[in-house]
Amino acid sequence: MLNAKPHTLTLTLRHISAFTLIEMMVVMAVIAALAGISIAVLPNITKGNQVKVTKALVIAVAAATEAYGASHHQIYDTSIKQFRQLPAWDIDADSILDGDPARGEFNASFRAGDLILIPDYPGALLGLNTLQVPDNRVNELGRITDSWGQPLHIVHAGPGSAPAGADTGRHFIGIYSLGPDGEDDTSAVTGDDDDIRSW
Ligand SMILES: [Ca+2]
Ligand SMILES: [Ca+2]
Ligand SMILES: [Ca+2]
């Protein structure tokens, strides 16, 4: 009995030591797993926020263009010396939302709807006092950009030819972002359709 007690005690200590080591390894494995999960989840959370921010932006821009009402601007084209009716907000018809005249070559006081006398007029949108866009969302050309730095796009459509999901009964103006993949899926889907649209 006298010899048995220390022996038992030794075994118990060894048992505790071994168990603690296994526990520590389990805890470390759990921490490693959680860290791995966090790293894997983080980009998705960020992407989700970027999509939300861009969705809010395209809706705000669409609301401002909608409130303005006009689907065309009358432009005096100095190259042909006559007036032309050009699509409001995208007078060069490249589907990229035009920029801020104050940042382009047209550097003068300006109100949306003013007559434009130069052919390379960069746009009217940021001249609207109904639209507030943070400076970090406007690029060097004065164009409004999405969460991935790409300029927003615009689609004009006459009654009956508006894109799917839009009100087709009137002239339609929609604003969209190319989305995370940077490709235009509203004109032609490339891979997944991840475009972020106002409609
Ligand atoms: Ca354009
Ligand atoms: Ca896209
Ligand atoms: Ca795509």
CA 152 to centroid of ligand 1, rounded, Å: 10
28 found inside a domain: no
Q: Which ligand is nearest to the CA of 146?
A: 2
How many domains are there within the chain?
A: 1
Residue 58's SS3 state is: helix
Distance 80 CA to ligand 3 centre (A): 39
Q: Tell me the pLDDT tens digit for each residue of 48-99.
A: 899 999 999 999 999 888 877 767 766 666 677 777 777 778 877 789 988 7
* Residue 188 CA, ligand 1 centroid: distance in Å: 18
Strand, coil or helix: what is 83? strand
Tokens of 122: 């960069």
Segment 18-40 mean pLDDT: 77
Do the domain assignments include residue 147?
yes
Distance 137 CA to ligand 3 centre (A): 22
pTM over 0.85: no
Indicate the length of the chain as a whole number: 199
What's the 3-state SS for 127-188?
HCCCCCCCHHHECCCCCEECCCCCECEEEEECCCCCCCCCCCCCCEEEEEECCCCCCCCCCC
Write the DSSP symbol of residue 97: P
User: What percent of the chain has pLDDT above 90?
Assistant: 25
pLDDT in tens, 31-48: 877 777 776 777 777 888
20 inside domain: no
Would 188 be classed as within a structural domain?
yes
Residue type, 54: T
Question: Is residue 100 situated within a structural domain?
Answer: yes
Paired strand residues for 145: 151
- Read off φ and ψ for residue 76, nearest 5 degrees: -90, 110
Residue range(s) defining the domain that contains residue 68: 58-197
67: its two tokens: 């409130």
Do the domain assignments include residue 102? yes
Q: For the segment 97-147, what is each residue's pLDDT rounded down to a tens digit?
A: 887 554 444 444 445 555 555 555 556 676 666 778 888 898 887 789 999
Cα of 183 from ligand 3 centre, angstroms: 5
Centroid of ligand 1 to alpha carbon of 111 (angstroms): 18
Span from the CA of 29 to the centroid of ligand 1 (angstroms) = 54
Q: Which of 94, 91, 92 is nearest to 112 (CA)?
A: 91
What average pLDDT does this structure show over 136-164? 86
For 138, counting Cβ atoms within 10 Å of its Cβ (0-12 exposed, 13-18 middle, 19+ buried), the class is middle
CA 58 from chain centre, in angstroms, equals 8
Residue 44 within a domain: no
Distance (angstroms) between ligand 1 centre and the Cα of 194 equals: 21
Ligand nearest to the CA of 96: 1
